[in-house]
Structure formats: C-alpha cells, structure tokens
Structure 1
Amino acid sequence: MKSNILTNIGLNKNESLIYETLLSYGEMIASELTEKTKLGRQNTYAVLKTLVQKGLVEEFDKKKKLTYRVEPPQKLLEYTENKKIELEENEKTLSSLLPTLMSDYNLAHNKPGVVYYEGIEGIKRIYEDTLREKPEEILVFRSPYEEKRLNKYIFDYMRRRAKLNIKTKIISPTNPSKEIEKNDELYQKERKYIPINIFDLYTEIDIYGNKVAFMSFKKNVMGFIVESPDVTHTLRTLFNLIWKAELPIS
C-alpha cells in the first residue's frame, strides 16, 4: 500500500509507516516495530497509542506481552467516514461562528460592510457595539415588539450607556413598556411618540457613529450592523426630520 494513500486520509508519516509495517508483518510487539521502523521506542509507543485510539490497530496481550496488529482494512473506510462526519460538524460550527468572527475582524480592522448576528447573544453583541463606539448620541427607531429574555440585559445596558454619557433619542410607538420608560431621565433618554397604527415597525433601528444597527424581534431574533457613512447619514437625516416634525400624538 502506498504511504500517500494513508496520508491522504489523515494519517501522518509515522502512523502510515507503523500501519504498513503491521499490515506486512502481522502481529508484532513494540520492540519489533521499533527495530523495523527505526522510529525509536518513545515514538513507536506514541504512534501505536494514536492508531489504537483511531480504531485502526488492535492492542492485546499475548504471552504476557502487549502485542499489536492492524484491524481489518474495512476500518480504514470507517475512519474516513468518521473524519467526514467530524469535518461536516466542524464546518457547521464554523458557519455559526462566522458572523462573530467577521464582526471581530471588521471592528479590529475598521472594515466597512455588513455583519449579521443571530439569537439573543447576537443581539447583545449589537448593543455592545453601540457602547464600544462611544458616540455622543444614539438615535433609535423603536419597534413595539420586544424580547423578554433581554429585559435584564437591557436595563444593565442602559445603565452602562448612561455612565458613558451617551444620550439617546427615541421615536417610539405609543405603547412603550412603562417599566422601561419611567427612568428615561436617569438614562439620558428623550422620546417622541407616533401612534402604532402608522408606526408599526417590525425592526428596531439604532443609528450611531458611522453605523446603523437593525434588530428584529417579531419572529426570528436576528440583526445586522451596516457600517457606511452614506447609509448612516441618510437614516440620521430621516430621523431628525421626523423628530422635528409635528407628530400626531395619540
């Protein structure tokens, strides 16, 4: 058997050498393998242990000596199948982590673009970014839809935001949570209201610095941050236009 076939399925050079030697000579003890392969006693034992763990070599007692032999070659197919499953699982894990990795990369390298987030932890990362930027103010188009699992976090977030002296202006529907609204002055917030029948936003929009964050709580909890001076300028202009207008308070 060619060593490169074994290395192609994931065995290293020493593992391939030990495997091929056992395949050719049959049952052997470690000292015999060391003599045949010239790998050295310590390396031979380490490689044998790894091959046993991978299910490719069997370890057993024979005449009171640990002896080794290869498992049936079909085990190589099982090994490659297990590697394939492991690779697919790692790919899924990486895919789920990619938005977080991209966020860290973009924030560290000041790369403009769009970064997506999912779930409660993703929404928290968006809010944390508004603090990390330390803007003078945050402009918020508030949605009437809330995620109760975020309540405790939101109160802590508002406290830390006020501590950073970040002011917040909010355009909100006329059915805000009174629990959140009652401490507006403490948290340096101003609000203006529009009746929900003409302002039923499904997504919260936060405008800060050169970024705009969109967060949806109506069905799937998800969001994304757009980093673009042009997009930010446009939405900030719209916000200020509505803020200064005569709003139809109900």
Structure 2
Amino acid sequence: MKKLSNSLLHSLNLTEAQASVYAAALELGVANMQQLATKSGIKRTSIYNFIEGMKERGFIVEITKRKRTMYSAVAPEQLVEIEKTRLAELEHALPELRAIQNESMTKPRVAFYDGIEGIKEVYADILKDKKEVIVFEDLENMKKVLPDSFYSWFPGERARRNIPLKSILRDSSEAREFTKQDIRLLRKTKMVDSGDWKTEINIYGDKVALMSYRTKIPFCVLIEDHNIAETLRSAWKELWERLD
C-alpha cells in the first residue's frame, strides 16, 4: 500500500497511523474492520478507535451492506469541499469572534500568587517579559522574606538578560549599601527621606505586581491591564523626576 507523503500528512492534519487507515479505505473502496486492519497494518485491537476517530473527522463513513457494517473513505474531492465549507463558516463567524476577543481584552487580568514560591513565579514572569521594570521597593522586608540565594541570583540574572530596573526606596544605611551595586546590576536607584510602603509595587510592560512581604504568608496580586499600568507608571515617573 502506498504511503502518504509527510507534506500531505501535515496538510490533512493526520498522524501516520490515521493516514494509513484512510489510504487503506481509499484503496479498498468498501471494507470491513478486519480488512482495514490488515491493509493498514494497524492491530485489530486498535483499528476500531482509529476508524471512529476518522469518522468523527469526516474522512471515513460507515455503511451497511447485506446487514454487515462496512466502511468507505470519503473522496478527496469531497474533503476539499468540506474544508471550504468550514472555512466559509469560520469567516462568517469572524465578527462575532472578534467581538468576544475585544470584550475580553478590555477586562484586566488578575492573578493571585501565594507564598514565597508564588512570588518567585512573578519574578520569573518579569524575566520572561523582558521589559524595563520600575519599582516602589520594600527592600528591608523583601530581604527578610526571600531566601538569600534567590535574592542574590535574581538581580544578576535580570542584568544578564539586559532588563533595566529603576527603583525608589526609603533611605537607610541598608539602602545606601544596596545602591553600590547599581551599575553592575543595570539598575538606577533614588531614595526618599520618609515613607514606609506597606506594599512593594513592580511595574513592567502592561503588568503591575503588588507584593506584600509583611503578612504572615507573603503574597502577590498581579494585574495585567494597559491603563492601570500606565497610570501607576506616570505616578512613579512623576515622583522619580522630583527626586532629582
């Protein structure tokens, strides 16, 4: 039995085994289950599932001949017509699908990350996003909560990936020590004399990560929304400029 080429398999979206069943049905014309199994090389115990799957996808039809269940391949020309019909139906539905997409895009996406491992997931998202990060930083409490190994690794990994960071944090001896590594870690830092932020805010791309290190179990609320991110980014930049 002639095998279908890889390019044709891809066009039909068939596995090699599925293609063998369809090719066998084409060649045999009308066949029973045993004949299809023998011709395709598919085990008799497995052929039923393959036939049912091909029936659902419209490649094979079931017919009754002399009170026996038989199977026949749908003609290739008919497959083309089926695909044309499906494409026409999809094109007809495009306005409705776009309306659903636009509606979902206007809603902010909000996710909750619990515990240290959850917060690590958000930091991993920052690395994946690759956008500049601007931060209202709760340095002291972050260092108390995150493991030293992670706290030491993340800034270097961020810099290695060429992701710049700008941070506003409360002035302290620890903060001043923190700034000594700014150039190496692709970071710029400015400090405020007063203020005690209860929540750290990381803004990157269209996302805002609100991180709480002061609760019994640390957590992060991640909001993905262009307008919210831009509003907070504008407020952050206003303060940043005033600190010059």
Q: What TM-score do the two structures reach when normalised by structure 1?
A: 0.51
Within a 5 Å distance, the mapping from 1:24-39 to structure 2 comes to none
Alpha-carbon displacement from aligned partner over 1:159-195 (angstroms, at most 9, x marks no partner): 1100111111100100244554331110011111002
* Shift of residue 218, structure 1, vs aligned partner: 1.2
Instruction: Please give the secondary structure, in 2, of the residue aligned with 1:169.
Output: strand
CA pair 229-216 structure 1, distance change in 2 beyond 3 A = same
1:190 aligns with 2:196: no
The answer to whether the Cα contact below 8 Å between 1:212 and 1:227 also exists between their aligned partners in 2 is: yes
Aligned partners of 1:122 and 1:223 also within 8 Å: yes
Among candidates 138, 141, 144, match of residue 136 of structure 2: 141
Query: 1:165 — aligned with what?
Result: 162
The code of the aligned residue for 1:131 comes to L
Consecutive unaligned residues in structure 1, runs of 5 or more: 1-109
Give structure 2 stretches of 5+ with no counterpart: 1-104
Is the partner of 2:141 in helix, strand or coil? coil
8 Å CA contact 2:136, 2:202 repeated in 1: yes
The alpha carbon displacement at 1:224 in A equals 1.3
SS in 2 for 1:205: strand
User: Match for residue 229 of structure 1?
Assistant: 226
Task: Provide the C-alpha distance between the structure 2 equivalents of 1:179 and 1:124, rounded to a whole number of angstroms.
Answer: 24
The answer to whether the 8 A contact 1:126-1:224 is kept is no
2:210 match: 214
CA distance in 2, matches of 1:160, 1:246: 28
SS of residue in 1 equivalent to 2:117? helix
- The 3 A distance-change label for structure 1 pair 240 and 121 is same
CA–CA distance in structure 2, aligned partners of residues 244 and 179 of structure 1:
22
Q: State whether residues 145 and 202 of structure 1, in contact with CA within 8 Å, keep that contact through their aligned partners in structure 2.
A: no
Q: Does 1:116 align with 2:78?
A: no
List structure 1 segments (4+ residues) > 4 angstroms apart after TM superposition. none
Taking structure 2 as the reference length, the TM-score comes to: 0.52
One-letter amino acid of the structure 2 residue matched with residue 138 of structure 1: V
